[in-house]
Structure 1
């Protein structure tokens, strides 16, 4: 798998007699899964023939029997940036993780570091920030976790690739 594919769901065990499979989401956008949509998987391309979000089940074209569906147990589904942007509606102030990763983290005019990853713990997302070399040389931690909440995040500019913060340096200094 190349780096521009994102893991978004995992297929579980079969349920019932018609090839329904348990469906485990790894995305904030369940609405992207619709009948007729095709996704890459580690078992080849799969096209959704039926989905029940309430029951958490999914069925794929060509796998409509229990025996054929069993071949998909534990399969992983992937998508890419273009497909994600096409299929997912963002609300005001929401961003895709892949647009935030790589952004500089600034407080006032000082660059604190670069977002390397995003981790979700409980209900909160944390930006995993690689601290700027100048600050590391000044004795600060090489990495810090910045909660992605209003208390610390002023705004995100995905065009300029900058996350504007307040009080984030306090977290860095305490790390």
Structure 2
């Protein structure tokens, strides 16, 4: 039975992207999408998907080390630079069930991206298109239309509720937006 892209990636989450090769022996640079090193450092089997080439690969990571802010990985069966180059640009997916458990008041980005956002009065503000990491706190980028972008800091003063199950967020409008 042939599976669709959606079926193959069902219950999977992209946690990084394969960059350029490193050296001549098939090592690759892995640029993580997460700031939780345990997710990357515990990788053993992953699904690689190259959107440009429409190629899937179930890959076994046999070696990993950190170098200059990126992870250098070795994939079983990739022994030279020519084969490694074919994987460049592939997104790295794992099963969502492999993510470490988090506290009730924490979230993974994928859980709140595309959430519908409302103010305290129930007015629809838009959906979460992006989450910016500023160092001190995350910032929700909310878009209702192309010309109307709202930035809401993810701090207790402005976030009333985050319902990950129903993908809805209720916020207090910051005073600078009133």
TM-score normalised by structure 2 residue count: 0.69
1:171 Cα deviation after fit = 4.5
Larger CA Rg, structure 1 vs 2: 1
Match of 1:100 among 112, 115, 123: 112
**Residues 156-175 of structure 1, C-alpha deviations (whole Å, 9 max, x = no match):** 12234332323x253443xx
SS of the aligned residue for 2:97 comes to helix
- Which aligned pairs between 1:20-169 and structure 2 lie closer than 5 A? 20-33=27-40, 34-42=42-50, 43-45=55-57, 46-53=59-66, 56-72=71-87, 74-79=88-93, 83=95, 85-92=96-103, 93-123=105-135, 124-131=137-144, 142-166=148-172, 168=173
Structure 1 residues 23 and 89: alpha-carbon distance in aligned structure 2, compared to 1, 3 A threshold: same
Paired positions, count: 160
The answer to whether the 8 A contact 2:116-2:128 is kept is no
5+ residue gaps, structure 2? none
Structure 1 residues 36 and 7: alpha-carbon distance in aligned structure 2, compared to 1, 3 A threshold: closer
Structure 1 residues 11 and 40: alpha-carbon distance in aligned structure 2, compared to 1, 3 A threshold: closer
The answer to whether the 8 A contact 2:109-2:131 is kept is no
Whole-angstrom distance in 1 between the partners of 2:45 and 2:150: 38
Bigger share in strand: 2
Other-structure match for 1:170: 175
| RMSD over aligned Cα atoms | 3.2
**Residues 5-34 of structure 1, C-alpha deviations (whole Å, 9 max, x = no match):** 755322233334542222211223443344
1:112 Cα deviation after fit = 4.1
5+ residue gaps, structure 1? 133-140
TM-score normalised by structure 1 residue count: 0.70
Other-structure match for 1:9: 16
Whole-angstrom distance in 2 between the partners of 1:161 and 1:13: 35
